[in-house]
């Protein structure tokens, strides 16, 4: 199963409104993006005119995976 890092940043007139980051599995990716988008669009600091959402797959290095599988 793959894990993904999702980062969201929103602003209005270049002033920060909201930001968040989460790590989710591939089965919850779409729901997490929707939640972050909703947060950016409905923030108490105002409505954003810029929303950036970045999604990256997390690569687990072999040594960590080997250690995890030993236990």
pLDDT in tens, 12-43: 999 999 999 999 999 999 999 999 999 999 98
Structural domain harbouring 38 = 3-70
More confident residue, 9 or 60: 9
Residue 65 binned pLDDT confidence (cut-offs 50, 70, 90): low
H or E element, residue 55:
strand 50-58
Compute, in degrees rounded to 10, the torsion defined by CA atoms 10, 16, 3, 32.
Answer: -50
- Its pTM stands at 0.77
Looking at the 3D structure of the chain, how many domains does it have? 1
């Amino acid at each position: 199963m793959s894990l993904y890092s999702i980062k969201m940043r929103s602003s209005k007139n270049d002033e920060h409104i909201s930001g968040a980051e989460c790590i989710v599995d591939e089965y919850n990716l779409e729901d997490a993006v929707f939640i972050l988008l909703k947060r950016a669009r409905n923030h108490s600091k105002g409505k954003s005119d810029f929303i950036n959402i970045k999604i990256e797959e997390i690569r687990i290095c072999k040594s960590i995976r080997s250690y995890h599988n030993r236990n």
